[in-house]
Amino acid sequence: MGEVVVTEDLWKVYRVGRVEYPALRGVNLVVEEGEFLAVVGPSGSGKSTLLHIIGGLDKPTRGEVLVDGVRISGLGRNELAEYRSKKVGFVFQFYNLIPYLTAVENVELPMAIAGVGREVRRSRALELLKLVGLAGMALKRPTELSGGEQQRVAIARALANEPRLVLADEPTGNLDSSSAKAVTKTFRGLVDEEGVTVIMVTHNIELTKHCDRVAKLRDGRVESVMRVRG
C-alpha cells in the first residue's frame, strides 16, 4: 500500500487586516491508499482548511502537500485545475445538486464538462448511482429525494471522473442519524470495493467507527491519530 496523501509541516495563516489567524500550525499527516480516514476536532480547529489545501482549493502558507508523490505546490495553473477535476472528488455538507436536473444528469455533469461522450457518461452515471445504492432513483429530481439520497447522488457525482481520492467535509452534517450512517457506509463500500481513499471530516464520533483511523485536530495541530479498524 502506498501513501496517497502526505502533508509536511503544513501551515495556514489567514490575515485579516493586521490580525493573523493561524488555522493550521504544522500538520503532518500520512494517508494510505485505500484508507478511510476520519478527521475530527472542535469547530475552528482547521479541518476544512486542511481539506481545502489537500484538494488544491487553497494554498498553504508554509509546508507541502504531496499526492501520489506529486507536490501540489509545484503544479502550474492548468495542472492544478486538472488535479482538482480528475484526481480529487469533493463532497460538501450541502449537496449543491442542480435542482432542475435529474439524479443521473447531475452525476453526468462533471463528465460532460470533461468532454466525455453522451452514451458513455450516461452508462457510467447509472453505474455510479447503483454503486451508491440509488439504482432506481436515476430519473428523480433532487426535491424528490431525501437528504441522505441527495448526498449519495453528490457522492456519485464526486466519483464521475474516477478520482482515487475523495474529500468530504461534514457530508453528514445536515442529515438525520440513519441517513448519516447510510452515507458513511457508502464511503466504506467505496473504500472496500473500489479501493478509493476517503478523508471525511465529521462531528459525529459514532460514525468514526466505520473508518480505519481517526485524526483529531486541535488548534490547527494533529492532537492524535487512532486506529479504529483493521
Q: Does 202 bind ligand ADP (CB under 6 A)?
A: no
Residue among 23 and 27 whose Cβ is closer to ligand ADP: 23
Residue among 43 and 78 whose Cβ is closer to ligand ADP: 43
Distance between CA atoms of residues 150 and 141, nearest Å: 9
- Which cell numbers in the block locate residue 158? 464526486
Q: Which residue ranges make up the site for Mg ion (CB under 5 A)?
A: 47-48
Distance between CA atoms of residues 111 and 116, nearest Å: 5
Q: Does 53 bind ligand ADP (CB under 6 A)?
A: no
Q: Does 46 bind ligand ADP (CB under 6 A)?
A: yes
In the list 38, 47, 148, 161, the residue contacting ligand ADP (rule: CB under 6 A) is 47
Smallest separation, CB 104 to Mg ion (Å): 30
Q: Burial of 7 by CB count in 10 Å (0-12 exposed, 13-18 middle, 19+ buried)?
A: buried
Residue among 14 and 100 whose Cβ is closer to ligand ADP: 14
Contact 135, 88 (CB under 8 A): no
Smallest separation, CB 176 to ligand ADP (Å): 22
Q: What is the DSSP letter of 176?
A: -
Of 154, 209, 214, whose CA–CA distance to 185 is shortest?
Answer: 209
Query: Residue 44 binds which entry of ligand ADP, Mg ion, none, with Cβ cut-offs from 5 to 8 Å by kind?
Result: ligand ADP
Smallest separation, CB 202 to Mg ion (Å): 10
In the list 5, 7, 31, 49, the residue contacting ligand ADP (rule: CB under 6 A) is 49
Residue type, 177: S
**What is the maximum span of the chain, computed from C-alpha positions, in angstroms?**
54
Contact 19, 190 (CB under 8 A): no
- Which cell numbers in the block locate residue 121? 457518461
Distance between CA atoms of residues 6 and 67, nearest Å: 7
Smallest separation, CB 144 to ligand ADP (Å): 31
Query: Residue 94 binds which entry of Mg ion, ligand ADP, none, with Cβ cut-offs from 5 to 8 Å by kind?
Result: none
Binding mask 10-29 for ligand ADP (x = CB under 6 A): ----x-x----x-x------
> What values do phi and psi take at 19, rounded to 5?
-95, 135
Q: Does 48 bind ligand ADP (CB under 6 A)?
A: yes
Distance between CA atoms of residues 146 and 23, nearest Å: 34
Residue among 32 and 58 whose Cβ is closer to ligand ADP: 58
Binding site for ligand ADP (CB under 6 A): 14, 16, 21, 23, 41, 43-49
